[in-house]
Amino acid sequence: MSSSILRRIRIVFSTLVFIFFVLVFIDFKSLIPAKYINALMFLQFIPSVLKFYSLKTLAAGSFVIVLLLTLITGRTYCSFLCPLGIGQDLNSRIGGRIKKKFRRYGFKKPFTILRYTILAATLVVTMVWGVYMITLLDPYSIFARSMTYFIKPVIIIINNFLAGILGKFDIYTLSNVPVKGFPLIVYSIPAAFFLLVGALSLTKGRLYCNMFCPVGTFLGLISKISLFRIKFNETACTRCGRCAMRCKSSCIDFLKPDVDLSRCVSCFNCIHTCQDKAISFGLVNFKKKVHETDESKRKVIIGSLLLLFGTSRVSNGQDKTAPKPKKDSTVRENRTCPVCPPGGVSIVDFNKDCIACSLCINVCPNSVLQPAFKQYGIAGIMQPVMDYHKSFCTYNCTKCTDICPTNALHPLLLEAKKLTQIGKANFIKDNCIVKTEKTACGACSEACPTKACHMIPYEGNLVIPEVTEDICIGCGHCEFACPASPYKAIFVDGKAIHAAAKKPVNVQSDIKTPVEFPF
Amino acid sequence: MLFFKRMRLCYFCLLIYSLQSLRNNKKKSCIFRHLSKNHFINQFIKIMKRRDFLRTSVGGTLAAGAVLKMGGFDKLWSSAPPAAKYDMVAVMGGNPDAMFDLGIQELGGMGTFVQKGQKVLIKPNIGWDVIPDLGANTNPLLVKRIIEHCFKAGAKEVYVFDHTCDNWVNCYSNSGIEKIAKAAGAKVVPANSESYYHEIEIPGGVKLQKAKVHQLLLETDVFINVPVLKDHNSTRMTCCLKNTMGMVWDRGYWHSNNLNQCIADFALYEKKPALNVIDCYNVMVKHGPQGVSKEDIVSMKSQILTTDWVAGDAAAAKMLGVAVEKIEYIPIAHKMGLGNMNLDSLNIKKIKM
């Protein structure tokens, strides 16, 4: 095909994908059901790989589809499905509007050493230590974080502004949504990448994809042997160089003329721009190309794939023996362990699978999920942690476990979630209003959904809280409600390995249905 | 290009706006902490309110001072409610809506409390994210019927809100109140953000002299209090007086500054309910105010309508089988002259359906 219809298809398709992604991440009222979000996340490469690694079932291995797609059509994933890629295209377009210079790309040499070093380092770090490099560099995560940290607050502020105006006219269809900021330091990494990717794409096209992005580099390796690719009709080509100028990946050397397939993201701009109709997208000429393929490189690919899945299983087996929960503490706000969201199973497991994409932070209706700063250690920065000073975990909710794209949070049925003990409440009598002020309070027990925190007789007419630990699920409503300050009189200490809480037992009251008014 | 210039302008405005809020913000740990406040829009209205306020608060202080001096004269305060036939009507044995029909008829119809063209605030308890059968929230049928009566009496607008304890969106929808109230024509208003609240003063308050109340309490003409009777873990009972905690922003202050006294203090505030309708249909007798399961509920199929909320609370306490003196805020409110907890001295009509 040599017409520009391919380009048009790409633009329409990628625009739709991008719009859906943006909608998911600015959906501050959680209007989009989890199944649509899951469908959208289905083909995201890194989340899918991690989900496969965690579940080890083929059903989760949608990344294979991406690999096959790449094998057939080259890096179409980068142009059609990657939200960061599409976002960069959009930004490049904006850049081109601002300055003519920004839309002239031209051929550039590949950053071969840099990109393969990053890919190798990412693979090694992921296999040996965990997902930390992926967390930083995965394009989906970068996009997701940019939306959550920077775009969503702006949308909410606009919403609040409109809600305020409408409220004055007695219309309450929009409601004010309190914006709860994250700890400042946590903004640094998303801000750095937002600016880096933004600046690079504004001025230089797809440079991030071909310099840093491990997914791009990896798919680039595969696309070198792809079946369909950009082809030149050398007799028709007049070497005008228009295609090279329009190539966002700067990968067309028009003098040869040749395309660097490892960098080409199949955007089809070159086909569209070629006036001689010398460029087409078609099946590779086997006789010539098979001869050219480098066997050693294929081995590297296969080897790295094997390494990725083989050794990671081994290392996973080893890590099962890792940290056990420390002793339950009774000392004043002595937090031994952060509270990991339900479905995380254990902090170690969770930290290994979470790429800090912030989707869960986004959908949490109570904003109790906050990006961690140092709770999980520096490697777990930006991963979600329960912050009971901000809010509490809603009893009737499994949103975060429903949408986690990497399966770092395993899906939980509502009944199971209600019995998942992610932490335990600790009562500090010396901080309690009832003891210090000698007045009634009970904010904690009022809030407790299981009545693990209940009131027992104290001095005179007063009652004071007590915690039944085995039915506490660690939702943090007690800690959030406790008015004691600066130290809370009740706080939830996380469990390194989640446990099953007992079901609260309840018996029918002795009070009978009245027949007469008692007054 | 034009588009970009506009975008730039927009961003610039937002930037200035956020910087301004940042400067006002003393806690700098959270960037966007203050941005939800619609400073600009509210400014004008606040100024207007402050003016009103000066007038009313001076008057209020004098009045409250007088009340305090005279002490035990129980019904001095109740100048506002018009001549209803009874102080209290108690109905038993029907559905919530049918019982209300009967009860309000005995009190002379909704027209006694709501005049034509008035704005009415109905304040049910929507505090918890549970279904209606679990009795943690006011019965939606009752709320619906009250709204209908208000419109029948010529109300211009009826508003419903509650400052919930659980997630407000879930509470509004799972309680069934949002849907049924909207269908009945009322406006269901959010109360989840501090920007909806305005500071008021409570002259004569012992512990609570200031509170931030929902703007609708200030803007409406008639306030109808529709609590649900429930056990409460620390105050022993939640009903009329305690239902007002759903109209203020900072409940934590109440909890940490003598909860019982604060509950009574807030009843001093000038805007008092014209009518209290106590939902005793499904009564949570233990594990209140949230409840754990159906075992906490006793079906009492009753309803109490009263213009005196202290009396309402006293009657409710008896329904729950708790001695009135045990519920500390009731005697406190009685002593402060906010109502009469001695049911014997009241004109009560009891009806069985």
In three-state form (DSSP H/G/I as H, E/B as E, the rest C), the secondary structure along A423-460 is EEEEECHHHCHHHHCCCCCCHHHHHCCCCCEEEEECCC
Query: Residue B143 pLDDT more than 70?
Result: yes
| Cα–Cα dist A347/B123, whole Å | 43
Half-sphere exposure of B191 (CA within 13 A, CB side): 33
A483 and B30 within 8 Å at the Cβ level: the answer is: no
Q: How close, in Å, is residue B34 to chain A by CA atoms?
A: 8
Length in residues, chain B: 353
Q: Count of CB atoms within 10 A of residue A336's CB?
A: 14
Q: Are B322 and A519 in contact (CB under 8 A)?
A: no
DSSP bridge partners of A230: A281
Q: Which residue has the tokens 């970009």?
A: B4
Strand pairing partners for B284?
B230, B297
Q: Which residues contact A286 (CB under 8 A, 6 or more apart)?
A: none
Distance from CA of B281 to the nearest CA of A (A): 10
Model-wide pTM > 0.90? no
- Residue B119's DSSP bridge partners are B157
Please count the residues of chain A: 519
- In which band, very low, low, confident or very high, does the pLDDT at B19 lie, cut at 50, 70 and 90? very low
Show the tokens assigned to B320.
């729950």
Contacts 24+ apart (CB under 8 A), A259-263: A259/A229, A259/A230, A259/A232, A260/A110, A261/A74, A261/A220, A261/A223, A261/A224, A261/A226, A261/A229, A261/A230, A262/A110, A262/A217, A262/A220, A262/A221, A262/A223, A262/A224, A263/A110, A263/A206, A263/A209, A263/A210, A263/A220
Instruction: Please report residues of B whose CB lies closer than 8 A to that of A395.
Output: 129, 166
Pairing of strands A463-467, A490-500: unpaired
**Tokens representing residue A159 in the block:** 């919403």
Q: For chain B, positions 251-270, list CB contacts with chain A under 8 A.
A: 251-253, 255-261
Nearest to A360 by CA among A406, A417, A392: A406
Q: Does B343 touch chain A (CB under 8 A)?
A: yes
Window from A95-104, A114-123, B52-61, B113-122 with minimum mean pLDDT: B52-61
Q: Could you tell me if A133 and A379 are in contact, meaning their C-beta atoms sit under 8 angstroms apart?
A: no
Residue B23 has pLDDT above 50, yes or no: no
- For residue A267, give the nearest of A446, A82, A410, A516 by alpha carbon: A82
Determine whether the interchain pair B261/A439 forms a contact, defined as Cβ–Cβ distance below 8 Å.
Answer: yes
Query: Which tokens sit at A326?
Result: 């420390």
Record the tokens describing residue A360, joined without a space.
């869960």
* Cα–Cα distance measured from residue A152 to residue A131, given in angstroms and rounded to the nearest whole number: 25
How far apart (Å, rounded) are the C-alpha atoms in residues B273 and B269? 10
Measure the CA–CA gap between A186 and A194, rounded to whole angstroms: 13
Query: If you write DSSP's letter for every residue of B234-266 in order, what string do you get?
Result: TTEEESTTGGGGGGBS-HHHHHHS-HHHHHHHH
CB contact under 8 A, B166 and A395: yes
Q: Which helix (H) or strand (E) holds B350?
A: strand B348-352
Task: Name the nearest CA neighbour of A185 among B32, B27, B18, B29.
Answer: B29
Chain B nearest-CA residue for A152: B32
Cα(A80)–Cα(A15) distance, rounded to whole angstroms?
Answer: 9
* Tokens linked to A170: 């007695």
* pLDDT tens across the length of chain A (519 residues): 446 788 999 999 999 999 999 999 988 888 888 888 888 888 899 988 888 887 777 767 788 899 999 999 999 999 999 999 999 999 998 988 888 887 788 888 888 899 999 999 999 988 888 888 888 899 999 999 999 999 999 999 999 999 989 988 888 888 888 887 888 888 999 999 999 999 999 888 899 999 999 999 999 999 988 999 888 888 888 888 888 888 989 999 888 888 898 999 988 988 888 888 888 888 887 655 445 556 666 666 665 665 555 444 333 333 333 333 323 334 467 888 999 999 999 999 898 889 999 999 989 988 899 999 888 988 888 999 999 988 999 999 999 999 999 889 999 999 999 999 999 999 998 888 888 888 899 999 999 999 999 999 998 889 999 999 999 999 999 999 998 888 889 999 999 999 999 988 888 888 888 888 988
- Among all residues of chain A, which has the CA nearest to that of B220? A170
Chain A: closest CA distance from residue B297 (Å): 8
Give the Å distances, CA to CA, from A461 to A93, B154, B195, B315, B327. Answer: 71, 46, 37, 20, 9
- Indicate the domain borders of chain B: 40-352
Report chain B residues whose CB lies below 8 A from the CB of A506.
287, 292-293, 295-296
- Give the helix/strand (H/E) hosting B127: none
Cβ-Cβ contacts under 8 Å between A and B: the total is 195
Smallest CA-to-CA distance from A213 within A306, A63, A358, A83 is with: A83
Per-residue model confidence (pLDDT) at position A10 = 92
Is the Cα dihedral B243, B246, B247, B248 positive or negative? positive
Q: Do A170 and B187 touch (CB under 8 A)?
A: yes
Q: Please list, in sequence order, all residues whose beta carbon lies within 8 angstroms of the beta carbon of residue B219, skipping any fewer than 6 positions away.
A: B119
User: Looking at CA atoms only, how far is residue B228 from chain A in angstroms?
Assistant: 15
Residue B54 scores a pLDDT above 70: no
Across B95-121, average pLDDT = 94
Average pLDDT, stretch B287-304?
Answer: 92
Partner A contacted by B322 (CB < 8 A): no
Residue in the structure block whose two tokens are 């249905």: A513
DSSP letter, residue A339: P
Which tokens belong to A443?
A: 């904010």
Kindly determine whether residue B194 and residue A463, on different chains, have CB atoms separated by under 8 Å.
Answer: no
Tokens in use for B13? 């405005």
> Is the four-CA dihedral B337, B340, B342, B345 of positive or negative sign?
positive
Nearest CB among B187, B233, B287 relative to A172 is that of: B187
Q: Does B195 contact A164 at a Cβ distance shorter than 8 Å?
A: yes
Domains and CATH numbers, chain A: 5-295 (no CATH), 347-500 (3.30.70.20)
Cis? peptide before B203, omega within 30° of 0: no
**Which of A29, A506, A519 comes nearest B292 by C-beta?**
A506
Q: What is the CATH number of domain B40-352?
A: 3.40.50.11440
Work out the number of other CB atoms within 10 angstroms of the CB of residue B277. Answer: 28
pLDDT for the residue A418: 94
Cβ-Cβ contacts under 8 Å, A463 against chain B: 233-234
Contacts A443 to B, Cβ<8 Å: 251-252, 255
DSSP bridge partners of B79: none
Query: Which range, of A381-385, B53-57, B314-318, averages the lowest pLDDT?
Result: B53-57
Instruction: Name the residue in chain B with its Cα closest to that of A439.
Output: B258
Angle A447-A452-A455 from CA coordinates, rounded to 5°: 75
Is A519 in contact with B259 (Cβ distance < 8 A)?
no
Which has the higher per-residue pLDDT, A437 or B158? Answer: B158
Interchain CB distance below 8 Å, B4 and A97: yes
ipTM field = 0.77
Q: Do A180 and B195 touch (CB under 8 A)?
A: no
Min Cα distance A157 → chain B (Å) is 6
| Inter-chain CB proximity B234 and A442 less than 8 Å | yes
Cα–chain center distance at A141: 5
Quick one: pLDDT at residue B4? 54
Residue A189's CB: how many other CB atoms inside 10 A?
18
